[in-house]
Amino acid sequence: MLSERRAAILRLIVSDYVESAQPVGSENIVRRHQLEVSSATIRNEMARLEEEGFILQPHTSAGRVPSDRGYRYFVEYLMPDEDLALQEKRRILHQFYQATSEFHEWLGLAASVLARSVRNIALVTEPSEPGARVKHVQIVFLTETSALLVAVLQDVKVRERVMTLTEPVDQETLTQVASRLNDALRGADAPALVHAAHRLEGLEGQVTETLLRIVEEEDAGQHVHAHMEGVRELLAQPEFHPSEKMLSLMDVLDERRLPQALPIRELPEHGVAVVIGREHSQERMREFSLVLARYGAADGPGGCVAILGPTRMQYGRAIATVRYLSEIVTGLMERLYAS
Query: What average pLDDT is seen over the chain?
Result: 87
AA identity, residue 287 = E
The CATH architecture of the domain made up of 86-129+224-338 is 2-Layer Sandwich (3.30)
- Residue 305 pLDDT: 94
Supply the CATH classification number for the domain 134-221. Answer: 3.30.390.60
- Residue 298 pLDDT: 64
Q: Do the two domains 86-129+224-338 and 134-221 of this chain adopt the same fold?
A: no
Higher pLDDT, 218 or 312: 312
Supply the CATH classification number for the domain 4-78. Answer: 1.10.10.10
- pLDDT, tens digit (0-9, with 9 covering 90-100), for 230-287: 888 888 888 877 666 666 777 777 655 677 777 776 777 788 999 999 998 888 888 8
Cα–Cα distances in Å, from 293 out to 72, 87, 106? Answer: 17, 23, 17
Domain spans in the chain, listed from the N-terminal domain onward: 4-78, 86-129+224-338, 134-221
**Whole-model pTM?**
0.75
- pLDDT, tens digit (0-9, with 9 covering 90-100), for 20-79: 999 999 999 999 999 989 999 999 999 999 999 999 998 766 789 999 999 999 999 999
Distance CA 332, CA 257 (A): 27
Is residue 83 pLDDT above 90, yes or no?
yes
Distance CA 213, CA 208 (A): 9
At 299, the pLDDT band (50, 70, 90 cuts) reads: low
Q: Which of 96-100, 181-185, 207-211, 297-301 bottoms out in mean pLDDT, i.e. has the lowest?
A: 297-301
